[in-house]
Structure 1
Amino acid sequence: MKQELKIPKVFIIVLNWNGWRDTIGCLESL
């Protein structure tokens, strides 16, 4: 948990922004 707090929120937002299409694709594949 402590290591996750060190990760910048911006990095998480960018990761989600770049991977949201893949996430939707995975959900649709189910």
Structure 2
Amino acid sequence: MRFVLGEILKVSRDRNAVAALYKAIVLRFIIGV
């Protein structure tokens, strides 16, 4: 699992990837509530 998380973190260094993750999380929170 740690290796997988490491790979995800490496990819997340791209601001686009981070922005996409944030949007997905925010949308889930809004829809969830």
Q: Which structure is larger by alpha-carbon Rg, 1 or 2?
A: 1
Normalized per residue, the structure richer in helix is 2
TM-score tier, shorter chain, comes to 0.3 to 0.5
TM (norm. structure 2) is: 0.39
TM (norm. structure 1) is: 0.40
